[in-house]
């Protein structure tokens, strides 16, 4: 089956300026040659530490950041080749949910206005059908129609995030980027919103790119998971496999570092030395080699390719010279 989203060799480099004349003195490779696919109706989880490029990747796919090179195929359409007008039309199919529900809703618009706006911009339906759609969406995200004329400041974080999700659904998208969508929420509310996202995806057959720094949340919500480090995907695997049998030394360290809510259980922790190198001056060869407990001479010379270590419909892929 053809995937809904097919990303090939996507790059996003930001020019770095410096010196007296603000000349371009280097390239910050925020996303560097990333390829993966998301099947229809599935969630691809993207994990990595701050600065690894996961948010930039999410935005480059939607062309909120213009990609430097590479292709993004959404349901057979090459998003990277569209002109401005075509892109606006395609935006119906791809939406984003942001981290901060306090900042992503306009404080001056009522819930009704916020939810009507996308349909008005895209000239979808009649005023009547739009209102019906808004009511239907509120019901889907579990909110009462009584709140239609209220403003964002009257809601809690969890309720705001539900409104953000309803807004993303107004245009019946095929694909949604959720960028740290539950990270700002308290635990008891976070699990409610996660269940909502999982239900929507099953019932509406949506595809998600779920970006998060929280590995447990990502495991729960995702079918496949990709691990990013310094702008590159270092491992991709079905969610259960990745956590049961992590292969890349970085994935292993990352998983071992999560504090487990079970007192007395002393996990064997792989403590990584040092900090993430500056993306302005990445190491030669494998980007992880400066902190890798398994680093070999070849790692400094050659960049390892992302290759499948076992086949199947969902292959487990690793970019490491150990395999």
Partner 1 sequence: MTSPLLRVRDLVVEFSTERGLVRAIDGVSFDIMPGETLGLVGESGCGKSVTSLAILGLIPSPPGRIVSGSIQLQGRELTGLSEAEYRHIRGKEISMIFQEPMTAFNPVFSIATQMIDVLVRHQGMSRRQARNRAIEMLALVGIPAPEKRIDEYPHQMSGGMRQRVMIAMALSCNPKLLLADEPTTALDVTTQAQVLEQIVKLQEELGTSVVLVTHDLGVVAEACDRAVVMYAGRVAEEAPIRCLFEQPRHPYTEGLLKSIPRIREEKLPELPTIPGSVPDLLHLPPGCRFGDRCYKADEICHRREPRLELRSDIAVACHHPNTYAAPAPCPES
Applying CB under 8 A, the span of 1-9, 27-35, 65-73, 212-220 interacting with partner 1 comes to 212-220
Q: Does 203 bind partner 1 (CB under 8 A)?
A: no
Q: Does 217 bind partner 1 (CB under 8 A)?
A: yes
Nearer of residues 194 and 309 to partner 1, judged by Cβ: 194
By the 8 A CB rule, do 67 and 35 touch? no
Q: Which of 219, 308, 309, 315 binds partner 1 (CB under 8 A)?
A: 219
Nearer of residues 260 and 280 to partner 1, judged by Cβ: 260
Applying CB under 8 A, the span of 8-16, 129-137, 169-177, 215-223 interacting with partner 1 comes to 215-223
Q: Which of 25, 121, 260, 322 binds partner 1 (CB under 8 A)?
A: 260
Distance CA 86, CA 80 (A): 11
Q: Which of 141, 227, 239, 292 binds partner 1 (CB under 8 A)?
A: 239
Q: Which of 205, 269, 307, 310 binds partner 1 (CB under 8 A)?
A: 269
Nearer of residues 261 and 312 to partner 1, judged by Cβ: 261
Applying CB under 8 A, the span of 65-73, 130-138, 272-280, 295-303 interacting with partner 1 comes to 272-280
Q: Which of 191, 204, 252, 295 binds partner 1 (CB under 8 A)?
A: 191
Q: In the complex, what is the shortest distance from the CB of residue 102 to partner 1, in angstroms, rounded to a whole number?
A: 12
* Torsion, Cα of 310, 75, 135, 133 (10° steps): -160
Nearest of 114, 59, 116 to residue 91 by alpha carbon: 59
Note every long-range contact of 305-308, with CB atoms under 8 Å and residues 24 or more positions apart, other chains counting.
306/35, 306/233, 306/234, 306/236
Q: What is the CA radius of gyration of the chain?
A: 21
Nearest of 91, 147, 158 to residue 115 by alpha carbon: 147
Nearer of residues 133 and 247 to partner 1, judged by Cβ: 247
Q: Does 194 bind partner 1 (CB under 8 A)?
A: yes
Nearest of 319, 183, 177, 312 to residue 251 by alpha carbon: 319
Distance CA 20, CA 104 (A): 37
Binding mask 48-77 for partner 1 (x = CB under 8 A): -xx---------------------------
Distance CA 105, CA 298 (A): 49
Q: In the complex, what is the shortest distance from the CB of residue 128 to partner 1, in angstroms, rounded to a whole number?
A: 33
Q: Does 1 bind partner 1 (CB under 8 A)?
A: no
Cβ-based burial of 45 (10 A; exposed 0-12, middle 13-18, buried ≥19): buried
Could you report how far apart the first and last alpha carbons of the chain are, in Å?
Answer: 28
Q: Does 230 bind partner 1 (CB under 8 A)?
A: no
Q: Which of 57, 60, 166, 215 binds partner 1 (CB under 8 A)?
A: 215
Note every long-range contact of 245-252, with CB atoms under 8 Å and residues 24 or more positions apart, other chains counting.
245/316, 247/309, 247/316, 247/318, 247/320, 247/322, 247/323, 248/288, 248/318, 248/319, 248/320, 249/288, 249/292, 249/293, 249/294, 249/320, 249/322, 250/288, 250/291, 250/292, 251/227
Q: Which of 82, 243, 283, 295 binds partner 1 (CB under 8 A)?
A: 243
Q: In the complex, what is the shortest distance from the CB of residue 135 to partner 1, in angstroms, rounded to a whole number?
A: 22
Query: How many of the other CB atoms lie within 10 Å of CB of 246?
Result: 21
103-142: contacts with partner 1 (CB under 8 A): none
Nearer of residues 267 and 302 to partner 1, judged by Cβ: 267
Q: How many helices (H) and strands (E) does the chain have?
A: 10, 12
Please report, as ranges, the residues that interact with partner 1 according to CB under 8 A: 49-50, 156-159, 186-192, 194-195, 198, 213-217, 219-220, 239-240, 243-244, 253-264, 269, 271-272, 275-276
């Amino acid at each position: 089956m053809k995937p809904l989203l097919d990303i090939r060799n996507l790059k996003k480099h930001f020019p770095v300026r410096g010196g007296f004349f603000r000349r371009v003195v280097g390239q910050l490779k925020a996303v560097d040659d990333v390829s993966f696919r998301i099947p229809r109706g599935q969630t691809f989880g993207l994990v990595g530490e701050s600065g690894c490029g996961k948010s930039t990747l999410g935005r480059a796919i939607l062309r909120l950041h213009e990609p430097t090179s590479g292709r993004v195929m959404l349901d057979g359409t090459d998003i990277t080749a569209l002109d401005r007008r075509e892109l606006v039309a395609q935006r119906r199919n791809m939406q984003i949910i942001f981290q901060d529900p306090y900042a992503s809703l306009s404080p001056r618009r009522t819930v009704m206005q916020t939810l009507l706006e996308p349909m008005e911009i895209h000239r979808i339906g009649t005023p009547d059908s739009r209102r019906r759609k808004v009511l239907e969406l509120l019901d889907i995200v579990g909110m009462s129609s009584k709140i239609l004329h209220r403003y964002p400041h009257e809601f809690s974080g969890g309720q705001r995030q539900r409104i953000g999700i309803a807004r993303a659904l107004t245009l019946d998208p095929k694909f949604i980027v959720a960028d740290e969508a539950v990270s700002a929420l308290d635990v008891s509310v976070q699990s409610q919103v996660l269940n909502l996202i999982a239900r929507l995806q099953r019932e509406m057959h949506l595809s998600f790119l779920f970006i998060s720094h929280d590995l447990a949340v990502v495991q729960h919500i995702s079918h496949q998971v990709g691990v990013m480090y310094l702008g590159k995907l270092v491992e991709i695997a079905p969610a259960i496999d990745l956590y049961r049998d992590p292969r890349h030394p970085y994935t292993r360290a990352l998983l071992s570092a999560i504090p487990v809510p079970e007192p007395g259980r002393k996990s064997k922790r792989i403590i990584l030395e040092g900090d993430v190198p500056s993306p302005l001056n990445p190491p030669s060869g494998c980007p992880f080699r400066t902190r890798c407990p398994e680093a070999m001479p070849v790692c400094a010379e050659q960049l390892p390719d992302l290759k499948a270590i076992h086949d199947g419909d969902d292959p487990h892929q690793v970019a490491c010279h150990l395999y």
